[in-house]
Chains A and B, each alone.
Chain A
Amino acid sequence: MNDGERMGLPAPAAGLAHAVRTGAASAVEVVERHLRAIEGGNPAINAFTLVMAEDARRSAEELDRRVAAGEDPGVLAGVPVALKDNLCTRGVATSCSSRMLEGWRPPYDATVVGRLREAGAVVVGKTNMDEFAMGSSTETSAFGPTRNPRDTARVPGGSSGGSAAAVAAGFCPLALGSDTGGSIRQPAALCGVVGLKPTYGTVSRYGLVAFASSLDQIGPLAATVADAALLFEVVRGHDPADSTSLDRTGPPVLPALDRGVDGLGIGLLTELVEGADDDVVAAVDRAAEVLSGAGARVEEISVPEVRLGLSAYYLIAPAETSSNLARYDGVRYGLRVDAEDTTTMNTASRSRGFGPEVKRRIMLGTYVLSAGYMDAYYNQALRARTRIVEGFSSAYGRCDLLLGPTAPTTAFPIGEKTGDPLAMYLSDVCTIPSNLAGHPAASIPFGTGADGLPVGVQLLGPVLSEPTILAAAAVLEAASAGAAGPAPNRAAEGGRR
């Protein structure tokens, strides 16, 4: 296998790890190069809320010592990885980009962080996000918006906008995000990187600060499909600390990457295409042609239940939010606004600590769970969710994967939708159904829109179909290399010999 390739596919992160494991490059050099890239580029992008330079240097030195001693530190040896700031890091501030968690340092690492360290990855920092992952543009962050490296006047998408931008800007080849309604895939699409929302239960949520527990899933963002697959392989697996974690998390994905799509049935999902911009639809059509040319049987498929997704999501997610975020009461950690009595202290702390979008969802969620309204809203949404699962299930009786846009538009200008929550919510209309169903889906950069900005196409599949999704993604990636090409990883390229 060549440096920077895996199964013949471009894989800068895998290449770096290979170089560090074989002694061809030192982890310290790799990390320093990326830290310099962050130092130079982050002020303009604001992808990081916290750069963990010293921690990263110490980890890199330790890795080099281990390599020198003949040890193999793992498949991500020396690879810089960024973490969305809702992943708990022991002793390191974890803010969810909210004032509410100001100064809070978790006493423990999230399960995925532990897995990254065991694989030799070097955590370089925590990335900016929409507050508590609620938003589609990274503009609700208490630390100010992240800018899209492709056009800094535009949003990177969200809520994992910092992670997507960090990869797109070449600050690090890999990043972890979380996806509750599209928060990995939509920013991946808007920034022109690969993002995978795995099957619910394949990646432990232990240490992921909850937004909507039944929908949240951690997943990889990377410059290429092979790197995303590699990161997924490292972080997934059963975790006894997460009761919703699956006992079996599916077959290995890496061997499937070069399997192609010959003989696969792929459905062009009508409901995802119908609301998207023309240039986005054109890219999806081209992707369908590529897959068809590679031997897939592509046909249009309608899953009408998918139209219920947005409404169901904006009842279920806020309901869980209202409960998950109740713990930020000023009593034990984070922001406290002192007051005469406990109730007033709770109210004052929450009023000052949460931003408007978080408050909006807490109020909405509290309302839909209230006595007298629960059946009309929350329970109705649960019934819609069941119907979406049934709709997908019948579609997957006819095809292996579904294809559609990741987002209806390319990256939009900063500030364009902040005054119109409903317009913002529509950014996730194509990604939400997979979260409600618990199914995996990935966004792959595929060409550009009329504005020259990246377009992401989305591949959706049934439970544990990650190998098939990533194999199809690899076909699209190879085909798009000529046109727009995968996102450059400048720091990594600079270091390749």
Chain B
Amino acid sequence: MRAGWELVVGLEVHCELETATKLFCGCPNAFGKEPNTNVCPVCLGLPGSLPVVNRQAVELAMAIGTALACEIRPSTFHRKNYFYPDQAKDYQISQYDQPINVAGHLELPDGSRVGIERAHLEEDTGKTTHAGATGRIHGADYSLVDYNRSGVPLVEIVSAPDIRSAAQARAYVSELRAVLVASGASDGKMEEGSMRVDANVSVRSGPDADFGTRCEIKNLNSVRSVGRAIEFEADRQITLIESGEPVVQQTRHWDEDAGRTVALRSKEEAYDYRYFLEPDLVPLAPDDGWVEAVADLLGPLPAARRKQLIGLLGGEEALSASQADQVATVVELGLDGLTLAAAAAGVPVSLALNRTANEAATDAAAARRLESGSFASLLALEAAGSLTATQAKAVLSELLVEGGGDPATIAAARGFESLSHASLASVVDEVAAAHPSEWERYRTGDDEDVKKLTGYLTGQVMRATGGKADGKAVAIELQRRRG
């Protein structure tokens, strides 16, 4: 951020809910089917069809509200009227002035807190494809509409304008994604459109200045885009203001390839949506019992899970910066269950965290399917010195592919057996005899020599044992002989 300026960002996140069926009909809530095969009279908006609210969608919305510390309230649905071919009824059913969740907040890993103004239910639209040079509806040769997505349940989560940096915006989206996954509401797949972000961006001269004119940026499909787009947009606005030009309130599109935002439409062109109460639906009035039942089903949330891991590592004070990152990663990816299972089996927490954050996390989807018992027993073997780090990592890759299995069996099949102390000692003796001058320098040299030659001699031991020796054990043997 340029000196003398403060960034102000509010984010609107659309989250597709992981329900079995769509929001107002019985069509499966499925991704990737042949166009227009996952439809019925209701989600096609055929004359005479009527919507019926999906109970599971309401429960997931309440779960999100609970996870975001919102007040869950009686709510209503409105019609948002506008003509567009992807909108089967030419209106969208959405919650308007009486949303189901209001006034919550999300605490980020760095301890900062972002207010949540509301998190409301609405239906998704179909998908249009415009053929022709423009790629937009204007000037298209023809347009195709796929209504498979029409009526898929969404929760739109609107933050307060509390975000003050691009990094904080990224952290917010990451944390929100982890919360949505943890609450069972979403698969969190931004790349498949399960989460879509719009950013309201403005700048001002300082914390006490009035908010500046804001622009809304659409089409942010990754955490990285969120950060880049906000940085670009802030810079654009500051440049305008510093050169004496006004920022025009408008909707802008993020062009990922060009790395810039482009104007879509200004406030004057904004549509009058003529919201009014949806007469085909009745108000939602979840009673306390229902709200509590949903809250009871909610598992531990990312913040609590991070706290648990940090506690096992000895608390905030004992935590290194890299461990803090590792904790954030495993929780965000939903892999902390593996770390906890290994720790419960007696594996040192730092080792369990290392293997989870560095190795398991490389294929998070596979790691989420991995039996935590297999993971724990593998790390127990490594901790006991029965497998070297290199061997343990190799076995872990195989476990990830297979989704589980007995690590000892896999290790044996690969011929992984650590050398016994006795045989390691004799190999070290053999290496010493085979490299007398190096050995002499190692025993009598200065620190520099010792450091260099430790590496050399360890390499020779490894070569002699075909990699079966444990690095730590070799170091101990070498050290012992130096006296």
Contacts and interface: CB of A to CB of B under 8 A. Distances in A.
Interface stretch (B82-90, B384-392, B471-479): B82-90
Contacts of A206: 48-50
Interface of B: 41, 44-53, 79, 81, 83, 85, 88-91, 137-140, 143, 145, 272, 274, 276, 279-282
Contacts of B81: 322-323, 326, 369
23 contacts: A86-B48, A87-B48, A94-B47, A94-B48, A101-B47, A106-B46, A205-B50, A206-B49, A210-B47, A210-B48, A242-B52, A243-B282, A244-B281, A244-B282, A323-B81, A326-B83, A327-B45, A327-B90, A329-B85, A331-B85, A341-B137, A341-B140, A369-B81
Contacts of A332: 44, 88
Which 6 residue pairs are nearest across A and B when measured between Cβ atoms?
Answer: A326-B90, A213-B279, A369-B274, A214-B279, A209-B47, A88-B48
A282 to B, nearest CB: 39
Contacts of B88: 327, 332
Nearest to B270: A371
Nearest to A347: B83
A212 B276 CA distance: 13
A110 interface: yes
Nearest to A371: B272
Contacts of A243: 50-53, 280-282
A366 interface: yes
Contacts of A378: 276
A321 to B, nearest CB: 11
Contacts of A241: 50, 52
Nearest to A242: B50
Interface string A284-321: 00000000000000000000000000000000000110
A331 B85 CA distance: 7
A287 B356 CA distance: 86
A342 interface: yes
B448 to A, nearest CB: 76
Is the contact region of chain A dominated by helix, strand, or loop, or is it mixed? loop
A322 B83 CA distance: 12
A341 B132 CA distance: 12
Nearest to B276: A369
A346 interface: yes
A88 B41 CA distance: 11
A463 B175 CA distance: 51
**Interface residue tally on A, bucketed by range:** 35 or more
A341 B47 contact: no
A129 B276 CA distance: 28
B56 to A, nearest CB: 15
B47 A343 contact: no
Interface in A99-140: 101, 104, 106-108, 110
B51 A331 contact: no
B194 to A, nearest CB: 27
A323 B48 CA distance: 13
Contacts of B140: 341
Contacts of B90: 326-327, 329
Given A108-B41, A207-B48, A370 B272 contact: yes
A319 B120 CA distance: 24
A243 B279 CA distance: 10
A169 interface: no
Given A326-B89, A343-B83, A319 B276 contact: yes
Nearest to B274: A369
Contact of B47 (A104, A319, A342, A346): A104
A342 B50 contact: no
A205 B48 CA distance: 8
Nearest to B282: A243
A366 B47 contact: no
A143 interface: no
Interface string A203-245: 0011111101110000000000000000000000000111110
B129 to A, nearest CB: 13
B5 to A, nearest CB: 34
A210 B91 CA distance: 14
Nearest to B91: A323
A374 B280 CA distance: 20
Nearest to A245: B50
B91 A107 contact: no
A357 B49 CA distance: 24
A320 B278 CA distance: 9
A396 interface: no
A120 to B, nearest CB: 23
A333 interface: yes
User: Most B CB atoms within 10 A — which of A242, A327, A333?
Assistant: A327
A323 B274 contact: yes
Contacts of B48: 86-88, 94, 106, 108, 110, 206-210
Contacts of B139: 341
